[in-house]
Amino acid sequence: MIKFLKEKWFYIVILLIALAVPFIIPNRYFFQVIITCCLFSIGALSLNLILGYTGQASLAHGAFFGIGAYGVAIMMQTLGWSFWIALPLSALMTAFIGFLVGFLALRTRGAYFAIVTMCLGEIVGLVISNWVELTGGANGINGIAPPGAISLPFIGQISFEGQTPKYYLILVFLIFTLFFMHRLVNSLKGLTFMACRNNELLAEAVGINTFKTKLLSFVVSIFFVSMAGGLYAILMGSISPSVASLGITFNFLLYVLLGGAATLVGPVLGSFALPVLQENLQFLQEYQMVLFGVLLVVVIIYAPRGLMGVITALRSRFNRKKVGT
Amino acid sequence: MDLFLQQLFNGVMLGSTYALVALGLTLVYGILQIPNFAHGHMYMLGAYVCLFLMGVLGLGYWPALIVVALIMAVAGVILERLAYSPLRNQSPMASFISALGALFVLENSVIAIWGPQGQRIGNPYPDIVEVFGITMSVQRLLVIGIAFLLIVLVQLFIKKTTLGSTIEAVAQNPEGAKLVGINIKLVSSLTFAISTGLAALAACLVAPIFILSPSMGSLLGMKAFVIVILGGLGSVPGAIVGGLILGLIEALGGGYLSAAYKDVFGFGALVLILAIKPTGLFGKEVQGR
């Protein structure tokens, strides 16, 4: 137990801070920013699985985020189902669409894959904007109810009306995603993902079916991103076609790359660092986005491994100094 | 029949501008082996520079066209130097991400300067000609004519002049080109200048017909990629034929099936073709890209 605490003290402190967030932050607006950061962390982590660990630049993640969100919204609003059924069902359905898409798109490699997924993403966006009967067109779907109350043993009835319960709900999903990704990338399966990224021919030579491996990574990744989309629908209460846009994909990409691809901490770090930075740069107005574009170019040139890469480099330099003296 | 001919005409007009944009994209890919995702945004910027020159400085259409081409050629070289050149020996993924950063800068700068709303450039040739029951505006005919003229000029430049043939030499064999004393850096700048200049000209040609908006770049950039992949990355004839095919698919699909979904047809065609032949119609097998 002591050993466990010694090794993991850092994570336990983070977890305690995360649990205490609703009590530390009095400002409703900033609290909403933090909740959105948690939500986008899930999306960034899922993109990280296919981009960082498996080396396939999927640009359709925004679209699948949108499908997940619309899936939940339509099931709850039009069909009147409970959120607790709608979320897993919508995520599974989206994962199935992801399977079909991946089956087509993963036959291509590198830049081709990026472009095919970008086109598919664009098709999804166009369909969502134009299929007015199902999606409400440009108006989107409004007034999505919060999840129904659930009763847990010992704790009692939990309703999801305010910000705080929604925060904990999303936090639970974030921790679940982190835990799942941690187990996945440290398993044998995770190693095959990385083998596909590092050298596909070599991976094939040692007997890995690279197509199946990439497809598995893609489908798992889509499952999580659509879950994030579903949570987004109930967090915001209303959605419009912009949730399925390339802009969302771009956000995920920015978070993953600035935080550090192929690490688990990096995407979460990126998802928090950037929106918080954004809040502090409000005075720049339209030029804010210009700055982020510049930031992306600078990072990829000077710090291709993102914030985590910088932290690791600083740490190893620090340790070397300690050993030297 | 008239409707069919009309759509055919519109398709050729669209296709010829697509071909111009795709031609530049495929040239850059051939030289640098990087997908220049910001290409469509340079096209968009070209249209806005034209708007500025004509609206604010009061230049005529033709002088504006020439000045835009020159300005954007320089802008293309700057883009290459800042965003791509430092990543020359990195993985293609790195320059791809750098391109995404660049396009974000371009789109949001234009939004910051000109605002997100649509803009119009006055049509210098609003007259209409009727041939065989097809209505053709003079501007549209002009688009087709100039686009094909430019395509022929670029081809002649690459095939017939020494400077132009260095582009082809580097595309075919970078090491060999270096050995015989070709300055690869200069060639890649030259290629970027031509490529961006062509995209900007295409934008100015259609600017009087369509509405300008900051988001016009990403859609067109995507279409250019669709074309270049259809034709095989790096293939010049592939880009020209692909451009015309996409223009026709869109015009006929938009005219006969559904106007709202006209962009879906082009993208759908790409997805289908790549699903059947992952290297594009005329593409060679590329490993690890």
Alpha-carbon span B270 to B280, nearest angstrom? 9
Q: Which pair of tokens denotes residue B142?
A: 């002009």
Residue closest to B40 by CA, chosen among B100, B111, B122, B81: B100
Tokens matching residue B55: 């609206």
Instruction: Write down the pLDDT at residue B132.
Output: 73
Per-residue pLDDT of chain A (325 residues), as tens digits, is 677 777 778 788 888 888 888 888 878 888 888 999 999 999 999 999 999 899 888 889 999 999 999 999 999 988 888 889 999 999 999 999 999 999 888 888 777 788 888 888 888 888 898 888 888 888 888 888 788 777 776 766 777 777 888 899 999 999 999 999 999 999 998 899 998 888 888 988 988 898 999 999 999 999 999 999 999 999 988 898 888 888 888 889 889 988 888 888 889 999 998 888 888 877 777 777 788 888 888 888 888 888 888 888 888 888 877 765 5
Nearest to A108 among B93, B100, B278 (CB): B278
Angle at B148 between CA B146 and CA B172, to 5 degrees: 130
Other beta carbons within 10 Å of A126? 18
Asked if the Cβ–Cβ distance from A104 to B271 is below 8 Å, we say yes
Q: What angle do CA A97, A98, A103 make, to 5 degrees?
A: 100
Measured CA to CA, the distance from residue A122 to residue A245 in angstroms comes to 7
Interchain CB distance below 8 Å, A109 and B103: no
Task: Determine, for residues A107 and B278 on separate chains, whether the beta-carbon distance falls below 8 Å.
Answer: yes
CA distance A29 to chain B (A): 25
Q: Who among B98, B264, B288 is closest to A301 (CB)?
A: B98
Q: Are residues A289 and B267, on separate chains, in Cβ contact within 8 Å?
A: no
Burial class (CB in 10 A: 0-12, 13-18, 19+), B152: exposed
* More confidently predicted of A112 and B54: B54
The residue in chain A having the minimum alpha-carbon distance to the alpha carbon of residue B112 is: A286
Q: Which of A123, A201, A256 to mutate to test the interface with B (most CBs of B within 10 A)?
A: A123
Residues of A in contact with B101 (CB under 8 A): 293-297, 300
% of chain B residues with pLDDT over 90: 17
CB contact under 8 A, B270 and A116: yes
Say how far apart CA A28 and CA A34 lie, in whole Å. Answer: 10
- Token couple for A99: 């399977």
**DSSP per position, B198-259:** HHHHHHHHHTTTSPB-TTHHHHHHHHHHHHHHHH-TT-HHHHHHHHHHHHHHHHHHHHHT-S
Quote the pLDDT of residue A67.
Answer: 95
Query: What percent of chain B stands above pLDDT 70?
Result: 96
A303 touches chain B (CB under 8 A): no
The rounded distance, in Å, linking the Cα atoms of B227 and A28 is 48
Q: What is the pLDDT of residue B193?
A: 93
Preferred mutation among B85, B87, B97 to probe A, highest tally of A CBs within 10 A:
B97
Closest-CA residue of A relative to B266 is: A119
Question: Among all residues of chain A, which has the CA nearest to that of B274?
Answer: A108
Give the single-character DSSP code of B135: E
* Distance from C-alpha of B252 to C-alpha of B250, rounded to nearest angstrom: 6
User: Residue A211's pLDDT is what?
Assistant: 92
Nearest-by-CA chain A residue for B35: A111
B237 has a pLDDT exceeding 60: yes
B284, pLDDT greater than 60: no
Residue A133 parent element (H or E): helix A132-135
| Mean pLDDT of all residues in B193-208 | 91
- ipTM score: 0.76
- Chain B environment of A112 (Cβ under 8 Å): 229, 274, 278-280, 289
> Do residue B112 and residue A296 have CB atoms under 8 angstroms apart?
no
Chain B CB contacts of A278 under 8 Å are: none
Q: Which residues of B touch A200 (CB under 8 A)?
A: 288
**B142-179 pLDDT per residue, tens:** 889 989 999 999 889 988 898 888 888 888 888 888 88
**What is the chain A residue with the closest CA to B116?**
A286
The torsion angles phi and psi of A208, rounded to 5 degrees, stand at -85, 130
Packing angle of the helix pair B39-55, B61-79 (nearest 10 deg):
140
Nearest to B97 among A118, A126, A300 (CB): A300
Chain B contact for A57, CB < 8 A? yes
- Which residues from A are below 8 Å from B249, CB to CB? none
Question: How far, in Å, CA of A122 to CA of A244, rounded?
Answer: 9
Q: What is the pLDDT of residue A22?
A: 82
Contact check, Cβ <8 Å, A289/B289: no
Rounded alpha-carbon distances, angstroms, from residue A138 to A78, A143, B260: 17, 15, 13
Q: What residue ranges define each of the domains in chain A, with the CATH number in brackets?
A: 35-136+160-324 (1.10.3470)
**Three-state SS at B100:** helix
Token digits of residue A5: 């605490």
Helix (H) or strand (E) holding B34: none
Q: Which residue of A has its CA nearest to B82?
A: A297
Selection from B107, B90, B198, B89 nearest residue B146 by Cα: B198
Token code pair at residue B135: 């209505």
d(Cα A249, Cα A254) in Å, to the nearest integer? 9
Of A112, A123, A293, the CB nearest to B267: A123
Residue for token digits 């015989």?
Answer: B180
The answer to whether A111 contacts B288, with C-beta atoms less than 8 Å apart, is no
Q: What 8-state DSSP symbol labels residue B119?
A: B
**pLDDT score, position A325:** 53
Mutate which: B42, B104, B117, vs A, most A CBs within 10 A = B104
From chain B, pick out residues whose CB is under 8 angstroms from the CB of A248: none
**pLDDT greater than 80 at residue B117:** yes
The contacts of residue B101 (CB under 8 Å, 6+ apart) are: A293, A294, A295, A296, A297, A300, B83
Dist. CA A295–CA A312, nearest whole Å = 20
